[in-house]
Amino acid sequence: MITIPADVPQNKIALFKKNYLAVTKGTEHFFLFTGDQKLERLALVNPDHLFTIAASPFIGAFAAHLGLIARYGKQYPSCSFIAKLNGKSGLVPQSQKDPISKALWSVDDAIACAEAAQLSLCGVGYTVYLGSEFESDMLKEAAQIVHQAHQNGLLAVIWMYPRGKAIANDLDGTLIAGAASAACCLGADFVKIKAPQATETHTTPELLQMVVRAAGNTKVLCAGGEKQDPENFLAELRSYLEIGGISGCAIGRNVYENDLEQALIMAKTISTLVYR
């Protein structure tokens, strides 16, 4: 069942449902292919490699910064996009300054770009570094972006990462559950989190159950993280879905840090796990 947020106007409900069904392929799950590392990690991957993967039938939607979508989107008309509206590089270390990532574009900018180029824009995304001394700035922008997205029938995806000098362990399960809870309070439809670190008493999938409960009807997506052995990565993902109860994943490096043939095989396998 699709949860229609109360801030989606009556005349935009059909569009919101269309966008939700597009990324979930008619299920309650979502495989988000992420290319925002082009800015966030200054990744040297060829944009055409990213967009070729994103245009495959296995992907729910492709998350990329709006500028990258503007440069390449018209060449790949079959892609569904989540336009990332804020971003920063990792060049300034946390020891020097708590992270802050302000909006680079607005929801209106994303809509105008998509309409001009006839692109399939399904939603927008924004990262919040919860625990940063600048969190209030990011929370305010995130709240407004979620609301503006809904006003226009778009999905809102929040990347929610505890980070800053105040954070002792950004993989603490209780902290990540709290971060997912915060995303729900912002009105997000999906929240992207890092999988929590296992403890002596609880496995990562068991901790994810707590995260999912805290998120309420905001759907939880687990980040893929650094590239791993494919077999181990897929086994982890399966356990997160089947035991942890998450609603999908947001994967970048474990797909695109392969040649195209292997990347498409990985995308197909992940798609099968998520959408089955």
Alpha-carbon distances of 11 from 148, 152, 202, 253, rounded to whole Å: 14, 9, 45, 38
Give yes or no: 256 in active site.
no
Confidence tier at 1 by pLDDT (50, 70, 90): confident
Q: Are 181 and 153 contacting, i.e. CB atoms less than 8 angstroms apart? A: no
Q: Which of 192, 219, 240, 256 is catalytic?
A: 192
pLDDT in tens, 220-257: 999 999 999 999 999 999 999 999 999 999 999 999 99
Instruction: Summarize the confidence of residues 131-152 as an average pLDDT.
Output: 98
The model's confidence at residue 80, banded by pLDDT at 50, 70 and 90, is: very high
38 classed as catalytic: no
pTM for the whole thing? 0.98
List, for residues 40-79, the tens digit of each pLDDT value: 999 999 999 999 999 999 999 999 999 999 999 999 999 9
Q: Report the C-alpha gap between 209 and 212 in whole angstroms.
A: 5
For the chain, what are the domain ranges?
Answer: 10-275
Question: Per-residue pLDDT tens for 87-107?
Answer: 999 999 999 999 999 999 999
CATH class of domain segment(s) 10-275 = alpha beta
- HSE-CB of 21 using CA atoms within 13 angstroms: 8
DSSP string, 175-225: HHHHHHHHHHHHT-SEEEEPPPPP-SS--HHHHHHHHHHHHTTSEEEEE--
**Active-site option among 20, 76, 126, 161:** 161
